[in-house]
Amino acid sequence: MIKTNLDLVAFFFLLISSIVVADVSDADQADSQSDTSSTADMGSIKESGDPNLVNPQRGQGYGIDFNQQQWKTTAIPPRMPLSTTPKPSFAQESARAMLEFGIIVGVAFMVGGMFMAMVGLEILFDKVADKYREVFKKPKILPDVERLHPAELVGTFSRYK
């Protein structure tokens, strides 16, 4: 009974595998029966005729002959020559270099001045806030730990007596 079941499975497998036909063509292989192949028309050329049809040689009357000057060349029309200015003197070059250096130094002073103005505004704001607390009798806020002097962070010695 088991043998008949195995025979039945084998028969069924053979029946199914004969119906299914897989395409096992590799991508590396070219289809020689294709009409879209680039060499499909080469079979119609008779090699017993002119061999130059299969392998044309340069300058033998096939195609365009680029050696003859029968074609007009398309060249860019010459431009008008640019007016040349005389080379500046050493004094003119030095004056221009000093102007450029002055711009660089001016920008550096501007950046430094703006930084100092920001620091000054912060200090002024702290003084205004302290005066506001003093006038309106507001409690003084605790000092920022990062702004304290390191000696102020250490406890007093009175607790050790």
Domain count, the chain: 1
| Within a domain: 134 | yes
Single-letter amino acid code for the residue at 77: P
Tokens of 109: 């002073």
| Within a domain: 44 | no
- How confident is residue 10, by pLDDT bands cut at 50, 70 and 90? confident
pLDDT digits (tens, 9 = 90+) for 54-74: 666 666 666 665 655 555 666
| Within a domain: 104 | yes
Single-letter amino acid code for the residue at 29: Q
pLDDT digits (tens, 9 = 90+) for 77-120: 778 777 788 899 999 999 999 999 999 999 999 999 999 999 99
Per the structure, the complete domain to which residue 117 belongs is given by 89-161
Of residues 80 and 26, more confidence is placed in: 80
| Within a domain: 111 | yes
Rounded Cα distance, 114 and 121, in Å: 10
Distance from chain centroid for Cα 123: 46
| Within a domain: 30 | no
| Within a domain: 136 | yes
| Within a domain: 160 | yes
| Within a domain: 42 | no
pTM of the model: 0.37
pLDDT digits (tens, 9 = 90+) for 121-143: 999 999 999 999 999 988 887 77
